[in-house]
Amino acid sequence: MNVVVKPAQPLRQRLNPDEWRRMAAMFGFILFLHVASAVLMWKATTGNYTLSDGSLFGWGTAALAYTLGMRHAFDADHISAIDNTTRKLMSEGKRPLAVGFFFSLGHSSVVFVLTLLLTFGIKALGSQLKDEGSTLHHYTGLIGTTVSGVFLMLIAILNLIILISIVGVFIKMRQGAYNEEELEKHLNSRGLLMRFFGPIARRIDASWKMYPLGILFGLGFDTATEIGLLVLAGTSIIAGLPWWAVISLPLFFAGGMSLLDTIDGSFMNFAYGWAFSKPVRKVYYNIIITGLSVSVAFFVGGLELCQVFARQLNLNGGFWEYALTFDLNSAGYFIVGAFVIVWSVALLLWKYGKIEERWHNKAHAAQLSRGEQSDHTAAGIDLGPIKDGFKID
């Protein structure tokens, strides 16, 4: 018996008019965040404001805030909460297009309110703001950067351990061995907060209920990117920038985070049948996502801690001088470029490296060498040659 898997319908045929309106509303609001933050930043650049460390407050600062939001969307907590909830709702026959959107909206609300409180709270300190050698200047820079760097490194180490476990599952697949429960255990263990709020996430039965869950995650305050954004806002406030210029930073942060979280949630709808119909696709997708999160966390967190060590211990030399002079604002451009390059290479490797076809053949050969039959063969189903995920007659 031959089983033919037909190619998926074009995107325009997969959504009904109501779903298209929901998609338009979501991305329309995200566009508003981008426009509002860009307008505020454009107005701020005309004032030639500088941060407390002497660097210019401008588009480089905006890029850093934006990429902090993008990196925040790659946090294991975000990925786990959005992906697990999307899979749950889809298994119930629903089309949860807005899971990522409402989750990021709830989280962004907390960051926005915290920035407002920070803005007016620090401004109330008055004379401390005007003295660049004040205790306030010294300790906000020292403590804020240290906390941000330490959190990033801890999260990076945790996710690196999980990444190694997922790669281990990937390697076992070459031998024809695949344990769905083992992979799910590793995927569900990603993120600190997901371990606490997982039971709540499993009770969600509609996309909009991700908004209060996003608020809970924001109040958990365990993510270094959130701390990093507030540190950046704090240095801007100390430098005497107007409140509306500072507010552009959480808007940029929200724009980057909501864009990728919404894309992740929407992608999971359209890729559910693709990424999770075959084990190799599911593992490959999660290796790329988790690998990106680990790499960026190590880079930014390590750089922040090196700067703290160099300043506090008066370390000199080529490496330490480079770390001190490296502008974290410029890191935003680097991270965006890294995202684009890594995903481009990953897609090219998948397409032209014929990963699925090769892994399918190796797994099948391993089964035959052990005298085993796959579920399809045992049922009398001929899969035939595999190309681009479809059976070819």
The distance of Cα 277 from the centroid of its chain, to the nearest Å, equals 23
Give the pLDDT confidence score for residue 7 in this predicted structure: 44
Stretches in the chain below the pLDDT threshold 70: 1-14, 50-56, 75-80, 83-84, 87, 91, 93, 121-145, 147-148, 151-152, 155, 173-203, 220-240, 268-279, 327-336, 339, 359-393
Whether residue 3 lies inside any domain: the answer is: no
Whether residue 363 lies inside any domain: the answer is: no
Give the pLDDT confidence score for residue 5 in this predicted structure: 38
Residue type for position 355: I
The residue range of the domain holding 135 is 13-352
Determine phi and psi for 178, rounding to 5 degrees: -145, 125
- pLDDT tens column, 198-247: 555 566 777 888 888 788 777 755 444 565 666 666 666 666 677 788 88
Whether residue 110 lies inside any domain: the answer is: yes
Give the pLDDT confidence score for residue 29 in this predicted structure: 94
The distance of Cα 141 from the centroid of its chain, to the nearest Å, equals 26
Whether residue 166 lies inside any domain: the answer is: yes
- The phi-psi region of residue 380 (left if phi > 0; otherwise alpha if psi is between -120 and 50; otherwise beta) is left
Token output for 129: 């703001």
Contact 40/248 with Cβ under 8 angstroms? yes
Whether residue 2 lies inside any domain: the answer is: no
Cβ burial of 109 (10 Å; 0-12, 13-18, 19+) is: middle
Domain count, the chain: 1
Whether residue 361 lies inside any domain: the answer is: no
Name the residue with tokens 């929407």.
Answer: 266
DSSP annotation of 387 reads: E
Name the residue with tokens 């991305």.
Answer: 27
Contact 105/293 with Cβ under 8 angstroms? no
Name the helix (H) or strand (E) containing 386: strand 386-387
Quick one: CA dihedral 275, 279, 284, 287, positive or negative?
positive
Contact 129/136 with Cβ under 8 angstroms? yes
Give the pLDDT confidence score for residue 193 in this predicted structure: 52
- pLDDT tens column, 336-356: 677 678 778 877 887 787 777
- pLDDT tens column, 259-273: 988 887 777 666 555
Q: How far apart are CA 385 and CA 283, in angstroms?
A: 22
Q: What is the pTM of this model?
A: 0.55
391 DSSP β-pair partners: 386
Give the pLDDT confidence score for residue 229 in this predicted structure: 66
DSSP code per residue over 324-358: HH--HHHHHHHHHHHHHHHHHHHHHHHHHTTHHHH
Helices 318-325 and 279-312, packing angle to 10 deg:
100
Whether residue 374 lies inside any domain: the answer is: no
DSSP code per residue over 204-218: --SGGGHHHHHHHHH
Whether residue 238 lies inside any domain: the answer is: yes
Query: How many residues would you count in the chain?
Result: 393
